[in-house]
Amino acid sequence: MDAVEIARTRELPTTPPKTGWVMQFHVLSFEGPDRYARAGGIASRVQGLVETLAESGYETHLWLVGDPELPGNERRDERLIFHRWCQWISAHHPGGVYDGELAKEQDYCASLPPYLVDSCIGPQVAAGQPVVVLAEEWHTAHAVLHLDWLLRRAGIRDRVTLCWNANNTFGFDRIDWGRLREAAIVTTVSRYMRQRMWAFGVDPIVIPNGLGPEAYSRTSAQQVQRLRERLEGRAVLTKMARFDPDKRWLHAIHSVAHLKAEGSAPLLIARGGHEAHGTEVLACARELGLRVGERAALRAGGASLVEALQDVADLDVVLIQSHIDASARRVLFRGADAVLANSAHEPFGLVGLETMAAGGVACTGGTGEDYVIPGRNALVLQTEDPREFLRLFERLRGDPAADLGLRRAARRSSRDFAWSEIVSGTLLPHLGVPSSVSQAARSDLTLAKSRAPAKVRDLRSWSPGRVRPAVSPAAPELSVGAS
């Protein structure tokens, strides 16, 4: 039995009978809310997107490479269902979502589209109901092409909206851009990314990232005050990013060294990853005479993080070796004098936006951070010279009124990027979808009213094999991993 046949043996959770207008959203993404599937900003994006769609009244399905120990299908609430794919592969790759990623990509792109058409899209279209598929990153590009091919063969391609989104430039060399452009609406997360993608012959629609309601939750003033009292007299900076040269960790280290040379008593609270560049970053810190130590929070939450930052008076750089959850991040971002989100290549920059939502001072680069207004709601670095940061930072730090004004402006600006605003104001209008189920029920333009139920051809006898779908209904063939 091949992967496609195995997929067809899966049983979907029991779905309540559908009455009236019901739009289905299917989000295809390797990353997602499971701890196993969290590797970066895509997981946060996907979680916020699917939760907002479900809260808006749409039936929402997330197809992720999730934890192999959790149920294959899980109904999270009335409208949100998780489908964990590639679990038989993930069971042999405990390192997380990208452990064994090429094998997972091949299985995902070959087995998911037939199952999706058989079990979800086909019945939905046959009932005269609309379907939207939103796919994320290069790992799902072949799945979109395969899905487009299957829908054309079934005679229902015009009943389904296909979208594919780029969060970064990773894997662009593996994508057949001509076919993808013909098969789907191509989107990306910032104007900067849009310009980067012009070189590949596509002109994507910009759908920004957003933040969920928790990002705007009240930060514990007591915990922020305790953090500031514990680190009183220090110029407190923080940086949270994977150890990648594009994240300008070396720039951050040199900035700390310059502050120390000027007698500003800096402390960089850092959280990186396990990437090899981390060794270079720490070596640079020690070569510049910076004292580096490690700390770990014993529990989740801001209080435990503050406790972990005791006895750091003799350190210039503190590496946090434990997970920093959302509530602890808000305390850290608000309590620090500045958060270094100073990337050289940043497709969007969720850390900067989270900092602003928490009422912190974000210090970003000048690429994909469409939410910043330099000097008004954030500090923006345009060079790799640490002295540029020192000028901007020390000027703001020396003017408490300007610092407070920037923090307040940052918090106000960040609300325009709540997921509820992005979905209702940008995503759904570009797709021609009503912004709520109640609006759809009142609208004369709903797809349910304009289209008769479709007759879907039987797909169960198909054997897509190795799929590299063409736009025309020719025999499929897949070249996984390379276009």
Query: What CATH number has the domain bearing residue 143?
Result: 3.40.50.2000
Cβ contact 368:348 at 8 Å? yes
Please name which of 164, 100, 63, 154 lies closest in space to residue 464, comparing C-alpha atoms. Answer: 154
Angle at 130 between CA 129 and CA 133, to 5 degrees: 140
| Same domain membership, residue 238 and residue 128 | no
In a domain, 170, yes or no: yes
Read out DSSP for 380-405?
E--SS-HHHHHHHHHHHHT-HHHHHH
Segment (H or E) for 133: strand 131-136
| Same domain membership, residue 424 and residue 410 | no
Length of the chain: 483
Per-residue pLDDT tens digits of the chain, which is 483 residues long: 455 555 555 666 655 545 566 899 999 999 999 999 998 889 999 999 999 999 999 999 999 999 999 999 999 999 999 999 999 999 999 999 999 999 999 999 999 999 999 999 999 999 999 999 999 999 999 999 999 999 999 999 999 999 999 999 999 999 999 999 999 999 999 999 999 999 999 999 999 999 999 999 999 999 999 999 999 999 999 999 999 999 999 999 999 999 999 999 999 999 998 899 999 999 999 999 999 999 999 999 999 999 999 999 999 999 999 999 999 999 999 999 999 999 999 999 999 999 999 999 999 999 999 999 999 999 999 999 999 999 999 999 999 999 999 999 999 999 999 999 999 999 999 988 766 554 554 443 344 434 445 555 544 443 333 333 333 334 344 333 332
Of 417, 437, 467, the domain-final residue: 417
In a domain, 301, yes or no: yes
Q: How far apart are CA 339 and CA 324, in angstroms?
A: 15
| Same domain membership, residue 313 and residue 274 | yes
The count of C-alpha atoms lying within 13 angstroms of the C-alpha of 189, restricted to the half-sphere facing its C-beta, is 25
| Same domain membership, residue 349 and residue 435 | no
| Same domain membership, residue 130 and residue 46 | yes
Q: How far is CA 447 from the centre of its chain?
A: 29
| Same domain membership, residue 177 and residue 258 | no
| Same domain membership, residue 122 and residue 82 | yes
| Same domain membership, residue 244 and residue 125 | no
Read out DSSP for 93-132?
-TT-TTTTHHHHHHHHHHHHHHHHIIIIIHHHHHTT--EE
| Same domain membership, residue 45 and residue 91 | yes
Cβ contact 275:242 at 8 Å? yes
Q: What is the pLDDT of residues 365-405, one digit of tens each?
A: 999 999 999 999 999 999 999 999 999 999 999 999 999 99
Number of structural domains in the chain:
2
Task: Provide the residue range defining the domain that includes 125.
Answer: 3-210+418-450
Supply the DSSP symbol for 304.
Answer: H
| Same domain membership, residue 219 and residue 130 | no
| Same domain membership, residue 358 and residue 427 | no
> What are the phi and psi torsion angles at 132 (to 5°)?
-125, 130
| Same domain membership, residue 104 and residue 134 | yes
In a domain, 228, yes or no: yes
Alpha helices (runs of H) in 239-336, residue ranges in sequence order: 249-261, 277-287, 302-308, 326-335
Per DSSP bridges, beta strands 80-84 and 73-75 are antiparallel
